[in-house]
Copies of this chain bind each other. A is one copy, B any other.
Amino acid sequence: MSEIRIIDVKEGILSDNHMEADKLRKELRSRHTFLLNLMASPGAGKTTTIIKTLEMLDGALKVGVLEADIDSTVDAELVAAAGAQAVQIHTGGMCHLDAEMTRAGLEGLDTASLDLIILENVGNLVCPAEFDTGASCSVMILSVPEGDDKPLKYPLMFTVCSAVIINKIDCVPFFEFDFQEFKRRVRKRNPDIAIFEVSAKTGAGFLPWVEWLSAKVNAWNETS
């Protein structure tokens, strides 16, 4: 039996999600807590990236994790086993999280004691990009097997994120993935986006990503 706390959330009834998201963002800022909204396709490696990030941070930041899924607790169990405070959010079939759902999930964590909360959004490159969760920052993962043409097909996701992590670079020999072309396509949508190349499996390339994230978290929490 799982000991993971499960929180069932429903789509917000508030008509103005943007206002609710801004309110949540300000509250988190006043509590010196940075909320990272992590988005990707199913199977891009969100959970593995979170676990490797926790390992690399090695206690330098106090981290909690919200795992959103339609069903199951497999991700929250993995993250809890890696030593983080973890809560599983069940979206009741919903394809994304909004600010009200995120707020409900945050109630399962001791936010005041945490520097960083990572929200693993539902695996989906479309809908999550349309809803502000109240996060301090949104980041996406695109894995090599998905292909370098995704910025052409899912433009909004690449536009709303501050960084894109290219994951599974260890399996490059198996796939045709043109890194230069991918970066060109991403930067056409979003010229200021940070791009990292990693393997969450081997840990390759994690240092620049973890340094970038830590700097963001520290800057946010110091100016609270």
A123 touches B123 (CB 8 A): no
Give A140-174 as 1s and 0s: 1 = Cβ < 8 Å from B's Cβ atoms.
00010111011011111000000000001011001
Q: How far is the CB of A190 from chain B (nearest CB, A)?
A: 14
CA A83 – CA B221 in complex, angstroms?
57
Chain B residues whose C-beta falls within 8 Å of the C-beta of A93 in the assembled complex: 126, 130, 156
B153 touches A71 (CB 8 A): yes
Q: How far is the CB of A52 from chain B (nearest CB, A)?
A: 15
Chain B residues whose C-beta falls within 8 Å of the C-beta of A69 in the assembled complex: 153
Q: How many copies does the complex hold?
A: 2
A30 within 8 Å of B (CB atoms): no
A42 within 8 Å of B (CB atoms): yes
A95 touches B124 (CB 8 A): yes
A122 within 8 Å of B (CB atoms): yes
A70 within 8 Å of B (CB atoms): yes
A104 within 8 Å of B (CB atoms): no
CA A71 – CA B146 in complex, angstroms?
17
A113 within 8 Å of B (CB atoms): no
B147 touches A43 (CB 8 A): yes
A72 within 8 Å of B (CB atoms): yes
A126 touches B95 (CB 8 A): yes
Provide a sorted-by-A list of 16 A–B residue pairs whose CB atoms are within 8 angstroms. A42-B146, A43-B146, A43-B150, A70-B154, A70-B156, A72-B152, A74-B153, A93-B126, A95-B95, A95-B124, A123-B125, A123-B153, A124-B125, A126-B127, A127-B127, A174-B174
Residues of A within 8 A of B (CB): 41-43, 69-72, 74, 93, 95, 122-127, 130, 143, 145-147, 149-150, 152-156, 168, 170-171, 174-175
